[in-house]
Amino acid sequence: MAHAWSGMRGIAPVPTYVVMQPTTLCNLDCAYCYLPFRAADKRMPVEVARAVAASVEGWARESRFSVVWHGGEPLAAGREHLAALLAPFGPGVEHHVQTNATLIDDAWCEFFRAHDMRVSVSVDGPEARNGDRVTRGGRPAYDRIVRGIEALRRHDIPFSALCVVSDPRPGAATELYDYFLGLGCDVLGINVEEQEGVNTRANSHAAADVRAFWAELVTAWRADPRIHLREIEWTLRYVAAVLDDTADALLPRQLDPIPTVAYDGSVVLLSPELAGFSNPRYGDFTSGNVLNRPLADILAGAAVTPWIGEFLRGVESCRATCPYFGFCGGAHAANRYFEHGRFDTTETDHCRNSKIRLLEGVLDHARDHEPSAV
């Protein structure tokens, strides 16, 4: 009953993490990348980091708080500059970096350890599945990615992995899961490729293929669940909560605002993928700039940003119409915009691939196995 869901109403005044863009530059040129300025090296000035650090200090004292350094390729900012950006943050703030791994060497490993930085690498599975990942000169990037991961392993630095799947279908899931077991990551996130930003490739797939992909992934994971598998574990938690009649309590009560602070201090809320884009109707999607307004004030005024009001209406439409709302919470603003050109719509290819088919695939797995399996 879609109307019963009470989570995800409005936007929380305090985020659980902030995304920071130390540089727009990326040294790779992946075919599916959504970033508009990845060929330009626009670096974040230290004043931007100082302004953000001043705002998050109080939040980090109250509860766990993270800064996620996400580019471009954050390591392309260089160790010295990244250290200068990290310096204003107090010891209570956790730092994470999302990297393509190609620049990781011994010196970067020492840097991660010195700054207690959690590392997540982007790699799409075995070499043949990394064809979209190329250097600026168009050469395959896989060997460089693997060299970076080998450096992490040499230094015993734990890492997560993020895998983009462009063509989810039966057969792929087992191969991928086996690969990541061998890679040595602790946590794996699977992102079905999304049509967003400057990536206009269609991401519509046959429902049966996507569903079978997710079902197969559960089977592979259950055979050897050494890795935390983000999407599958979340889905199983939801299914267990439905069985316990506690599912309505699972979604956060309010949307996490996920402020993304671009290199120049401008702030885009809810969907990092909107940063750097503009539209005659919505403007540049920003809600303010930390150089002239504290982040807490920007968050307090979030709902007056024109596109955000429209998105919140879209979330209410999802609540009213979609039986998957309690699992999904309305998904991401950027997918609505880049697929439909507006925010008050409901279904997207993204939510079909990564929410609806995911839940259906996990349930298919449960049906195909003993009832006590889930």
Decide if residue 310 touches ligand SF4 (CB under 6 A).
Answer: no
SS3 breakdown of the chain: % helix, strand, coil, rounded to 5? 45, 15, 40
Decide if residue 356 touches ligand SF4 (CB under 6 A).
Answer: yes
Decide if residue 330 touches ligand SF4 (CB under 6 A).
Answer: yes
Distances (CA, A) of 227 to 178, 182, 196, 218: 10, 10, 29, 12
Map tokens 């990781």 to a residue. 104
Decide if residue 75 touches ligand SF4 (CB under 6 A).
Answer: no
Q: Binding-site residue total for ligand SF4 (CB under 6 A)?
A: 12
Map tokens 């460089």 to a residue. 144
Distance CA 233, CA 236 (A): 5
Decide if residue 337 touches ligand SF4 (CB under 6 A).
Answer: no
Mark 146-185 with x for binding to ligand SF4 (rule: CB under 6 A) and - for no binding: ----------------------------------------
Mark 1-20 with x for binding to ligand SF4 (rule: CB under 6 A) and - for no binding: --------------------
DSSP-assigned letter for residue 352: I
Distances (CA, A) of 248 to 46, 192, 231, 263, 328: 42, 26, 19, 38, 12
Selected range binding ligand SF4 among 168-176, 230-238, 300-308, 321-329, rule: CB under 6 A:
321-329
Strand-pair partners of 255 = 11
Mark 211-250 with x for binding to ligand SF4 (rule: CB under 6 A) and - for no binding: ----------------------------------------
Decide if residue 346 touches ligand SF4 (CB under 6 A).
Answer: yes
Selected range binding ligand SF4 among 15-23, 212-220, 263-271, 347-355, rule: CB under 6 A:
347-355
Decide if residue 355 touches ligand SF4 (CB under 6 A).
Answer: yes
Distance CA 219, CA 21 (A): 37
- Token pair recorded at residue 62: 């109250």
Q: Which is nearer to ligand SF4, 61 or 237 (CB)?
A: 237
Strand-pair partners of 161 = 121, 188
Strand-pair partners of 118 = 96
Selected range binding ligand SF4 among 154-162, 286-294, 305-313, 350-358, rule: CB under 6 A:
350-358
Note the residue count of the chain: 374
Asked if 2 contacts 251 with a C-beta cutoff of 8 angstroms, the reply is no
Q: Which is nearer to ligand SF4, 133 or 357 (CB)?
A: 357
Out of 103, 190, 328, 334, the only residue in the binding site for ligand SF4 (CB under 6 A) is 328
| Residues making contact with ligand SF4 (CB under 6 A) | 318, 322, 324-325, 328, 330-331, 346-347, 351, 355-356
